[in-house]
Structure 1
């Protein structure tokens, strides 16, 4: 006798895909490097010379506002001996980016300025020996980077999100607080959890009190690689909201009064940093307590998710569970997400700009 009925359902990815080091390296090059990734917000780069440094998919990078007011981004590596150029998370570099190791210097546009006292008669072409550049664009007060240069613009990558979010005042909201946490969870484990509410009644009582769970749905846009989450508020809710997940891991929760902006920094197979920023239209002292409560409520939902999927990740790595069935009623978006993973790993043209000579 069969253990299941004959009704059709799809299967999850194999458990090994959530902890395989070799697969993670393929994801890093084929998926992460080819997509725009949220890096920081524009208010941190107010003046020419202001910079923010960090990592994107394991690559040390920094973004800087140049002399023309344009945001540029580079790998945080000196062309001489590979030293890290900017060591602070944010700051102001003055007219030049100067390597702390041997004092090679670069302009804000990335050109080599000077190879200090290198040797008589030896010169370097300033453009050819400039910093390794990566793509950078701003969208409504947020800064995105792309490791592989060229391809579709950020607005093209955002697709329908750009127009659907047009009347939400994201670019008039201001940073209030953030909550970042390192977790023993694979990026796919997190994404799949985000894209189903099968677990909501069990895991999120507070969310279900404020949301009409019976009307919850997720619209999947396979070609554009994004998901529109519909979560109607119960009577008495504060305001309308707009909720997006753009593959591989951009999460936008937009309201008239504030926004919860989240992303993932993959740290390795089975490890992520969950990054969540909270912006509000009014960040005056009078609104601080109310804003703090709103951010804490949102962060609690993430905590509930991370608590359960950390155990999921342990079991994915333990060697007993191999794969499971996906509910066609509740987990259709998970299936679409997994199809995007498979498609992202298909053979493509060689990368440009990630590990240039």
Structure 2
């Protein structure tokens, strides 16, 4: 039998202990797409959410900088902000005991504490996480320090330079909770072996025979491309940045997607659609374009939900990878292995 490369073992897609390692060693250490800048226009504007199980929020501060914090009060652990988005006053006030924090995260006041204790505003500031904005997209990183966002994006930054992201506006979202591991989804995204079987609409629009994926191991990203067929739309640029950022860029709009891991074998697939022209006159055309894209995701999720079910069942252990079509899957799996390689003691991402 030929000496194939093999998939990861099935247990790696369902093991809670491995998932906790991924949470600390992969998710927390990489930049993760969180929201878009138009939602944070003015000082005090905020967006809440969850990253790899950690409740967090991002806010525009008084100087116009985007800051991000764990959504937890330093007093008794209450959730500070409960709405998906909004605007707070000058202070973030805990709804439990009214401790308050400035927009830069520093403690403002421990209300009526009832003793002579003095709390250092810096020592008792909110648990901060890294936040940066790139061309209208807001990224967060749970573990502070490391490469800046542009450095992390690597060649993507320059390759996407002439696509008009800043001139595109949010149109709609399609988010789905799925019984699928984040690795199961990533591996499916990074091969077109299944395209002729699963994606007739995609095959009509693109020359699948010329489809290829360029892998960039050290930079942790993949460049996916195929020529459009006659009558297709415009040029496009398609990226997958490990562990789960997906950028599909066009002159007229963008499909921006990411994964929120919910646990071993569980994800939320998040997809935003932006268009240069979001006028009412273009609404029907834009919606058809977004729904066409969403249908391809639906086709993928339908099949890989069954894949995950079998990975969980305990019969299938591993399978061979096609050197012709699944070389990017192998590269993705190598990235998983490398980022989980021991590097000394595990460090927590939140202060004690």
Task: Give the shorter-chain TM-score range.
Answer: over 0.9
Aligned partner of residue 274 in structure 1, secondary structure: strand
TM-score in terms of structure 2 length: 0.99
Aligned residues between the structures: 352
2:73 aligned residue: 78
TM-score in terms of structure 1 length: 0.97
Would you say 1:142 and 2:137 are equivalent positions? Answer: yes
**1:24 aligned to 19, 28, 40, which one?**
19
Aligned partner of residue 48 in structure 2, secondary structure: strand
Would you say 1:229 and 2:224 are equivalent positions? Answer: yes
**1:179 aligned to 161, 166, 174, which one?**
174
CA contact 2:24–2:348 (8 Å) conserved in 1: no
1:339 aligned residue: 334
2:160 aligned residue: 165
- Taking only aligned residues, the RMSD between alpha carbons, in angstroms, comes to 0.9
Instruction: Tell me how far apart the structure 2 counterparts of residues 192 and 82 of structure 1 sit (CA, whole Å).
Output: 37
Instruction: Tell me how far apart the structure 2 counterparts of residues 87 and 245 of structure 1 sit (CA, whole Å).
Output: 32
Instruction: Tell me how far apart the structure 2 counterparts of residues 53 and 270 of structure 1 sit (CA, whole Å).
Output: 24
Structure 1 portions without partners, runs of 5+: none
**1:275 aligned to 270, 276, 279, which one?**
270
**2:107 aligned to 73, 92, 112, which one?**
112
Q: How does 1:1-357 map to 2 (within 5 A)?
A: 5-6=1-2, 8-350=3-345, 354-357=349-352
CA contact 2:99–2:111 (8 Å) conserved in 1: yes
**How far is the alpha carbon of 1:349 from its aligned partner?**
4.8
Deviations 1:39-75 (A, max 9, x none): 0000000000000000001000000000000000000
CA contact 1:96–1:106 (8 Å) conserved in 2: yes
Deviations 1:223-280 (A, max 9, x none): 0000000121101211000000000000000000000000000000000000000000
**How far is the alpha carbon of 1:355 from its aligned partner?**
2.1
**How far is the alpha carbon of 1:347 from its aligned partner?**
1.5
Instruction: Tell me how far apart the structure 2 counterparts of residues 293 and 124 of structure 1 sit (CA, whole Å).
Output: 55
Instruction: Tell me how far apart the structure 1 counterparts of residues 333 and 164 of structure 2 sit (CA, whole Å).
Output: 32
Instruction: Tell me how far apart the structure 2 counterparts of residues 258 and 26 of structure 1 sit (CA, whole Å).
Output: 36
Instruction: Tell me how far apart the structure 2 counterparts of residues 132 and 350 of structure 1 sit (CA, whole Å).
Output: 21
Divergent runs of 4+, >3 A: 349-353
CA contact 1:258–1:278 (8 Å) conserved in 2: yes
CA contact 1:187–1:270 (8 Å) conserved in 2: yes
